[in-house]
Amino acid sequence: MALTDLPLEGVLMDARGFDARAVEALRQAASPRSLPVISLGHGAAIGSDLHMTGAPHPVQIGLRLEQLMRAAVAEEEFTLRRATFSNRGQELEITPDASPMRILAAGAPDRRFLGLSNALRDSGTEVVAAPTPYTAFDYLHEAAFDAVILWGGEDHAPALSIASGMKRNTRLFHIPVMLYLRQSGEIDLPEIFQRGIADVASAETPEAETARRGLALAEAYRRQQAIRRALDSVRTSDLTDPATGLFTREIFALHLSRIVEAASRRRRPVSVCVLRVAVSNEVTRARAGGWLDRALPQIGSMTSRLVRSEDTAGRLAQEVFALALPATRAGEARIAAERIAAVIGCTAFDAGPDQPPFVLNFDLGVAELLPGEPAAGLLERASAELKLLGAAD
């Protein structure tokens, strides 16, 4: 009854009180929304997306629920985007990667960490060991991995330095990271999750369960990457802007209408962000010399890497970009846009001979869909914030 009446996005259940048929009934009740399910306790996994036998930290549960909900939204978005592209003669298909999962295990040798690596290998996973942060980043830059598991060991600093470094790299940003601790209660978990750790397990957790959770992260990431590759396959088509590889203004508007319609059916929020290159003296000089235009391909590439697979990025005008973020509130959308702007703002672009490199800042406009509002109204409200900023400037 709750799933029918309320726009709930996930289920956390006691595994002892339900069976697989009950889980499927709950998912049917939530339709057309996808419904992630996490089961806890020593019962069977009962068809849930994630099963944990221990008592996880509340922050950990919240983070894993969020990850599963985003994955569900990504699947919904792929279906929508396939319909949009099909109407324009472009067919999208996901090509599964049949190779074994590849997980990087980084940390000093320890019998418990080695035991986890063996459990992963027993499941058919390819595990690559890196004893130091230096070797870990060497491997990460040389090969593709589906997840990274870090051993906390005696000192957490090396593990946390790897996690922090990955979150500062656009290519490694989305790879899930799991922290494996010697024992529970030895670290500030809320702080750890703020650093971008996707999951934390202690050595008291059975190795088979820890391996299963690490593998679940890897599988979800590989599926996400397969969706991203399918979506990127149209980047050289007439659906995208030639300079940036982002969707054209017309395709962005067309697909935003589909997103808004689906959000209403599924009772999900949706937000739009508009980013405009901010006025500055160095940007004015770069524009006059044509160097801003030359930076656009890199800006488009960085934007497409930094957005989530379920987000749609488009180019509305010469120096104006837009993001459609399904299942996202306005506050969350603003944070996402600010992070993208901050990463691009840390990049120095070539300004020509004898000129110092220039950097870009962005003005941001954000709006969340109102009940009954059309897609054009949502985009206009987000753009209106930029007009106010322009008037203030």
Tell me the CATH number at 300. Answer: 3.30.70.270
At residue 185, does pLDDT exceed 90? no
**Same domain as 219, residue 105:** yes
The confidence score (pLDDT) of residue 387 equals 66
**Same domain as 254, residue 387:** yes
Q: How confident is the model at residue 186 (pLDDT cuts 50, 70, 90)?
A: low
The tokens of 352 are what?
A: 């020509």
Q: What CATH number has the domain bearing residue 188? A: 3.40.50.2300
**Same domain as 197, residue 306:** no
**Same domain as 328, residue 215:** no
Q: Is residue 49 part of a domain?
A: no
**Same domain as 254, residue 227:** no
**Same domain as 374, residue 320:** yes
**Same domain as 261, residue 148:** no
* Domain endpoint, select from 207, 232, 257: 232
The confidence score (pLDDT) of residue 273 equals 96
The tokens of 208 are what?
A: 């088979």
Establish how many alpha carbons lie within 13 A of residue 83's alpha carbon, considering only the half-sphere containing its beta carbon.
13
Mean pLDDT of 281-290: 90
At residue 390, does pLDDT exceed 70? no
Distance in angstroms (rounded) separating the CA atoms of residues 9 and 36: 7
Q: Is residue 217 part of a domain?
A: yes
Mean pLDDT of 384-390: 70
Strands 102-106 and 126-130: parallel
**Same domain as 297, residue 188:** no
The confidence score (pLDDT) of residue 235 equals 65
Q: Which domain holds residue 157?
A: 93-232
Mean pLDDT of 30-37: 88
Q: Is residue 36 part of a domain?
A: no
**Same domain as 270, residue 221:** no
Q: How confident is the model at residue 300 (pLDDT cuts 50, 70, 90)?
A: confident
The confidence score (pLDDT) of residue 392 equals 43
Q: Is residue 78 part of a domain?
A: no
Distance in angstroms (rounded) separating the CA atoms of residues 147 and 126: 11
At residue 328, does pLDDT exceed 90? yes
pLDDT digits (tens, 9 = 90+) for 84-138: 888 888 887 888 788 999 999 988 887 877 888 888 998 899 999 888 889 999 9
The confidence score (pLDDT) of residue 332 equals 93
The confidence score (pLDDT) of residue 52 equals 81
Q: Is residue 38 part of a domain?
A: no
Place of tokens 């890897």: 218
* Domain endpoint, select from 232, 263, 293: 232
Q: How confident is the model at residue 271 (pLDDT cuts 50, 70, 90)?
A: very high
Contact between 166 and 149 under an 8 Å Cβ cutoff? The reply is no
At residue 1, does pLDDT exceed 80? yes
The domain tally of the chain equals 2
Contact between 251 and 239 under an 8 Å Cβ cutoff? The reply is yes
Q: What is the mean pLDDT of the chain?
A: 85
Percent of the chain predicted with pLDDT > 90: 30
- The beta-carbon contacts of 372-380 under 8 Å, at least 24 apart in sequence, are 373/260, 374/257, 374/260, 375/253, 375/256, 375/257, 375/259, 375/260, 376/253, 376/257, 378/256, 378/260, 378/270, 378/272, 379/253, 379/256, 379/272, 379/274, 379/322
**Same domain as 224, residue 98:** yes
**Same domain as 100, residue 227:** yes
**Same domain as 217, residue 284:** no
More reliable by pLDDT, 227 or 318 = 318
Contact between 255 and 247 under an 8 Å Cβ cutoff? The reply is yes
Mean pLDDT of 180-186: 65
